[in-house]
Amino acid sequence: MSELRTGMFVEALDKPWLETDYLLEGVQVETEDDIERLRRTAKYVFVTAGGDIGPEESDAGGQHPVSESKALASDREPRSFKDELRQARIIHGETKVVVDEVHDNIRAGKKVDTDGAREVVAQMMASVARHPDALVWFTNLKNRDQYTAEHSMNVCTLAIALATYVGESEQSVHEMGVGALLHDVGKIKVPISILNKPGKLTDQELAEMRRHPEYGYEILKNGSNLSPESLEIVIAHHERMDGGGYPRKLVGDQISYYSQLVAIADVYDAITSDRVYQDGRSPADAMKIMRDATGHLNPELLGRFIESLGAYPIGSLVELNTGEVGFVVPTAERQERPTVLIVLDHRKRRYFPQRVRDLNRFPKFKIIKLLAGGAYGVSVDDYAEGWE
């Protein structure tokens, strides 16, 4: 126990998990409080070989948190979902740090350092290559109070996953990913009273909100070393194929291919996220809304996007005909009917321990509803570790 430090992942204790007050098997040690709790629980623990070093550990010496993780970008050997999920959590946390730093620099009128963005995008690409579902799992995190940062990360993740799925080149995906990660920085220039207004915007307020792609473009064009391809995504992510978008009202192929792709990820995450003026919708609702919006989005790319996520996207919350609730978890191969981690019983009480149910093997169990993230007070982050 004296050798335990932040950044490590505890796989097992010197006693069964069921004899403790831990909800899940496995603990990512993120704070000194986590260590103290473990000391009160056990005399010794088993950690992942080598210890997973997280953002706090790698920040030693004053270096940027992602600097120690560059090697991850070259590591693309396939991993199990469980193994990659642990690394995806770290990447997700590092990406949040980078996005927050970019926003802080813009608010302070400083030059935007995009090196951190490039590094975390490379890590995200490598994570998707190792297992395509692990990082996507975290796009189901929906926090109304942190919408702008989480939305930027989710759009980047979904865009990278889609571009990888359709076979785009690594260099192109990387430039697209940087643009996707920074696509909404212009909102920093929009008054907070407009961004956080719970009701309908006036025409004047709506016009100001719709200037954020131009604000972002000008900020990054003059204060960063972003490529033209990445900058185009920043200014064009709200353009629509039928010319009904903004700010330039481009039509069809006038919109760059990767801007069309990022637009799909942007719309999907916006619909499924909690906003100040509305609650998030389910993945099924989002897909229907997007399909019905004829002419807005690239139909071929939209079809591939829906195909890549499947009818039941990984990490989405579902309710069964028994009344039980659970998360869709990945399997070795995509199946017609998913495998579900059951977390709530028919009375909506937490299962302990949770159970995994393969609906292919148990045909009497059926999904009756895809739920919005956070329904019944459960979050994918509660079950991100040890779900097996």
**Domains located in the chain, CATH noted:** 9-47 (no CATH), 55-309 (1.10.3210.10), 317-383 (no CATH)
Of the listed ranges 11-20, 174-183, 214-223, the least confidently predicted one is 11-20
Confidence of residue 141 (pLDDT cuts 50, 70, 90): confident
Q: Give me the chain's average pLDDT, please.
A: 86
C-alpha distance from residue 34 to each of 19, 24, 30 (Å): 18, 14, 7
Nearest of 278, 282, 258 to residue 268 by alpha carbon = 282
Higher pLDDT: 227 or 336? It is 227
Question: What pLDDT does residue 25 have?
Answer: 60
| Cα torsion 41, 46, 52, 56: sign | positive
Burial class (CB in 10 A: 0-12, 13-18, 19+), 242: middle
Please give the torsion angle defined by the CA atoms of residues 106, 269, 65 and 221, in that order, rounded to the nearest 10 degrees: -30
Cα distance between residue 162 and residue 122, in whole Å: 15
Element (H, E) at 340: strand 339-344
Nearest of 204, 180, 206, 203 to residue 195 by alpha carbon = 206
**Is the CB of residue 274 less than 8 Å from the CB of residue 374?**
yes
Confidence of residue 61 (pLDDT cuts 50, 70, 90): very low
Range 30-64 burial, b when 16+ CB lie within 10 A, else e: beeebbebbeebbeebebeeebbbbbbbbbeeeeb
Question: What pLDDT does residue 91 have?
Answer: 92
Whole-prediction pTM value?
0.78
Question: What pLDDT does residue 69 have?
Answer: 46
Confidence of residue 16 (pLDDT cuts 50, 70, 90): confident
Give the number of other Cβ atoms within 10 Å of residue 373's Cβ.
23
Average pLDDT over residues 70-87: 76
Strands (E), 54-171: none
Query: How large a percentage of the chain has pLDDT more than 90?
Result: 51
Confidence of residue 83 (pLDDT cuts 50, 70, 90): confident
Average pLDDT over residues 14-26: 69
**Is the CB of residue 309 less than 8 Å from the CB of residue 161?**
no
